[in-house]
Structure 1
Amino acid sequence: MKYIIASTAVTDEIHFVDGKRTEIVAGGAGVYALCGVKLWSDDVMLVTGVGTDFSGIYGEWYKNNNISMDGLIEKDDKTPHTVIQYFEDGEREETPRYGAEHYKKIETVPEDLKPYFASAKGIYIFKNSDPFFWRKIIKYKEDFDSKVMWEIGCDATYPENYENIKKIAKHIDIFSINLTESKHMMGTEDIEEIIKEYQSFQIPLVFLRRGAEGAIMITPDEAIIVPSQKNIKVVDPTGGGNSSSGAVLYGFCEGYSPLICGKMGSISAAMCISQYGVPDRITSEMRLEAMRNVER
């Protein structure tokens, strides 16, 4: 597979501010990032731990979308189940129903990814700043040519951890983070200051996500503002950042400009936030329409 997604595949139970809730939808950063790439390419696979019950719950979705399940590793009887609570300010809290230890047991570890570095064009990793994890990933990356995107987990974006994050990020190709996390991590509200700081990383691309306002594509030499897709009815905002990150990874590895990569990210995000959970089916017609949107 050209594109490998390394993150969780879980069941999401989503509680919205207005009292609405979903009971069972496919979720997890990995599944949304998978969809973000799938809109542009069939050559993508998720590599993560799951429960033995996963095929029974989600196998039909994988089959309908012609997505390989070869990268799914059974690590427990149960697939993680996450309760997501949204708040008035747009922030959210995620609670693993089976506990933190079960969730950690299921997560992707570097050894799960090692076989793919020799052949993959791009690898998406959603992870905190665990130094033991990244030490191995950086070593694999040095040995092979795969491009790596790091979408950082919000639990790592605190001020005292910033220098450690910067040290890791300098070894990867694309760093994906949202603006709220950046402000908290850097201790500033000044977007220009944030952009300059990311440019000091001296990495090919920082994908600074701004939710409904779109994103800023930051290279060492420039910062390009990319708007979000217009006239989109947001049904469920879950996974918008992950899906856009997956699309940006794809665009970057295929040689598109930062502007085009950002547009692809906005289009994938719009697809994923237009219904509860992930789309039932990502079709060739949707891909053609997505390419037309980029050209417009």
Structure 2
Amino acid sequence: MRYIIASTAVTDEIRFADGRNVEKVAGGAGIYALCGVKLWCDDVMLATGVGADFDSIYGDWYRKNNLSMEGLIIKDEKTPHTVIQYFEDGEREEIPLYGPDHYKKIETVPEDLEGYFKSAKGIYIFKNSDEKYWKQILKYKKNSPAKVMWEIGSDATFEENYSLVKGIAGQLDIFSINIGESVKLLGKKELTDIIKEYQTWGLPLVFLRRGAEGSVMITPEEAVYVPSQTGVHVADPTGGGNSSSGAVLYGFCEGFSPEICGIMGSISAAMCISQYGVPEEITEEMRENAREKTGLA
């Protein structure tokens, strides 16, 4: 596979601040990033741990969307089930129903990914700043043709962690982070100051996500503002960042401009937030519409 998604596949139970509840939808950063790439490319696969029950729960969805399950590794009897609680301020809390130890047992470890670094074109990783984890990943990347995107976990975005995060990100190709996480990581509130700071990192691309306000595609030389898609009914914001990140990774690896990458990200995000959980099926019509919006049709 040319594109590898290294992150979780779980069952989400979503509780909104207004009292609405949505039970048992496919979720996890990995599933959303997988959909983000799938809208543009068939050559994508999720590589992660799952429970033995995963096929009975989500196998039909995989088959309907012609997705390979070869990257899934059975690590327990049960697939993780996460309760996501949204709050009035837009923040959220994620609670693993079977406990943090079970969730950690299922997570992707570097050894699960070693083989993919030899052949993949792009690898998406959703992770915190675990030094042991990244030491092994960076070892694999050293002689790999793959471009790597790091979408940072929010638990790693605090100011005291700045040097560690910058040091890891500086050895990768794309860094994906949202505006709230950036404020906490950099200790800066003004958007212009945040952009200038990321430009000093020297990365080929920083994907700064701003929710409904779109994104900023940051390179050492420029900052391109990309608006979000208009006319989108937001049923569930879960996974918008993950799906957009997956699309940006694909666009970057295929050689598109930062602006086009950002537009692709906004289109994939719009697709994933338009219903609860991931789309039931990513159709050829959806793909054609996406290509038309980017001028790639």
TM more than 0.5:
yes
TM-score (norm 1): 0.99
Name the structure 2 match of 1:40.
40
Name the structure 2 match of 1:256.
256
1:99 partner amino acid? G
- What do residues 4-63 of structure 1 show as CA deviations (whole Å, max 9, x unaligned)? 000000000000111111110000000000000000000000000000000000000000
TM-score (norm 2): 0.99
Distance 2:60 2:110 in 1: 28
Name the structure 2 match of 1:15.
15
- What do residues 165-197 of structure 1 show as CA deviations (whole Å, max 9, x unaligned)? 000000000000000000011111111111111
Distance 2:16 2:207 in 1: 27
Map 1:102-251; keep pairs closer than 5 Å. 102-251=102-251
Shift of 1:131: 0.5
- 1:26 matches 2:46: no
Distance 2:144 2:213 in 1: 36
Distance 1:141 1:16 in 2: 39
- What do residues 191-211 of structure 1 show as CA deviations (whole Å, max 9, x unaligned)? 111111101110100000000
1:25 partner amino acid? V
63-72 or 189-198: which moved more?
Answer: 189-198
Name the structure 2 match of 1:96.
96
Give the secondary structure class of the aligned counterpart of 1:235: coil
2:175 partner amino acid? F
Distance 1:273 1:177 in 2: 18
1:194 partner amino acid? I
1:45 partner amino acid? M
Distance 2:125 2:44 in 1: 14
2:230 partner amino acid? K
- What do residues 104-147 of structure 1 show as CA deviations (whole Å, max 9, x unaligned)? 00000000000001110000000000010101111111111100
1:207 partner amino acid? F
Name the structure 1 match of 2:271.
271
Name the structure 1 match of 2:70.
70
Runs of 4+ in 1 over 6 A off after TM superposition: none
1:292 partner amino acid? E
Q: Which runs of 5+ in 1 are unaligned?
A: none
Shift of 1:259: 0.1
How many residues end up aligned between the 2 structures? 296
Aligned-pair identity (%): 70
Q: Which runs of 5+ in 2 are unaligned?
A: none
